[in-house]
Amino acid sequence: MYKKNPALRIKSKKNNKFWNSNSKELWCDPTNKYIQDYNIDIALELAEKGVDEIQFDYIRFPTLGNLSDAKYSYNFGKMSKDETITLFLKRAYNKISQRNTLLSIDIFGVVAWGKEIDIKRTGQRVESLSKYCDIISPMLYPSHFNNNFDGFSNPADNPYYFIYTGCKKVIALSKGKTIRPWIQAFKWRITSYNKEYILEEILACRNSGAMGYLFWNASNNYETVYKALKKMKSLQKNMKSSF
C-alpha cells in the first residue's frame, strides 16, 4: 500500500513530501480513514471465511525517525496517538466481534510499565485498548528493554523478572482480559541462550497468571524452543513439576 498509493503515506512537515522515506520502516498514515478501513475490511473478510482469531500487529504509531516532523491527516479529527489507536481498535472490534471471531493485539512490552513517554510515542494505552479486544499479547522480550531498566544492567539476562512483572502489570491494567505474551526465542543480548532460558520464560508466564505464550524468532529457528518443550514434557511425565 505504501508503494502503490503514496498519498496514504505519513507526510513531512518540512516539505509536505514523504516522512522518513529513507528508513527501513515504511509507514502509511494511521490517522487516515482509508488506511483504517482497509485493515478492518481485510480482517472482516477473513472472519467471514471462518478464521477464529484476528491478531493486529504494529497497532501503533512509528517510534523511530524524526517524530516531530511527522504530519498526519487526522481524518477523525485532531486527537492524541493513544486516542487514535483506541478508536481504530474500537471500530474494528465492533465489527469483528459480530462474526464469532476473537480479536487480539500485540503491544510493546514496555507500555506495561505505564510510563507516559512510551504511551505517547506508541499510542498504546493498555487500559483503553483492553476494552476493545479479547486477548492482549505484550511483546515481553527481555532483550528489548534498555540497559539498567528497573535496575537490571542487562535485562536480557533476567527473563523471569521481565516476563513475570510485565504480565502482572498488563493483567492489572486490562482488568480481566486474556493475556498471552510473546516471549523471546532468540539469543540477541543474552549471555547464555539455551533451553533453560526458555523454560524460565514459560515458568514466568504460568506463575504470572497469563494464559499461554507465543514464541518469536525472526529467523524461524525454534530448535532451542523444541529442546525446552521436550525437556518440559519429560519433567511433566516423570515427576510433579512446576510446569
Q: Are strands 102-108 and 135-139 parallel, antiparallel or unpaired?
A: parallel
How far is it, in rounded angstroms, from Cα 163 to Cα 184? 10
How far is it, in rounded angstroms, from Cα 164 to Cα 201? 8
**Per-residue confidence band for 239, with pLDDT thresholds at 50, 70 and 90:** low
Write phi, then psi, for 136 (nearest 5 degrees).
Answer: -120, 130
Q: Is the pLDDT of residue 127 over 60?
A: yes
Question: For 55-108, how does the pLDDT look when each residue is reduced to its tens digit (9 = 90+)?
Answer: 999 999 999 999 999 999 999 999 999 999 999 999 999 999 999 999 999 999
**Per-residue confidence band for 218, with pLDDT thresholds at 50, 70 and 90:** very high
Of 119, 122, 112, the C-alpha closest to 210 is: 112
1 in a structural domain: no
Full residue range of the structural domain in which residue 170 is found: 6-238
125 in a structural domain: yes
Query: Mean pLDDT, to the nearest integer, of 206-223?
Result: 98
221 in a structural domain: yes
Q: What total of structural domains would you count in the chain?
A: 1
How far is it, in rounded angstroms, from Cα 24 to Cα 135? 29
Q: Is the pLDDT of residue 240 over 80?
A: no
243 in a structural domain: no
Cβ neighbour number for residue 196 with a 10 Å cutoff: 14
How far is it, in rounded angstroms, from Cα 111 to Cα 23? 24
Q: At what angle do helices 223-238 and 195-208 cross, to 10 degrees?
A: 60
CATH code where residue 212 lies: 3.20.20.80
Write phi, then psi, for 211 (nearest 5 degrees).
Answer: -110, 90
Of 96, 113, 100, the C-alpha closest to 44 is: 96
204 in a structural domain: yes
Question: For 136-194, how does the pLDDT look when each residue is reduced to its tens digit (9 = 90+)?
Answer: 999 999 999 999 999 999 999 999 999 999 999 999 999 999 999 999 999 999 999 99
How far is it, in rounded angstroms, from Cα 49 to Cα 14? 44
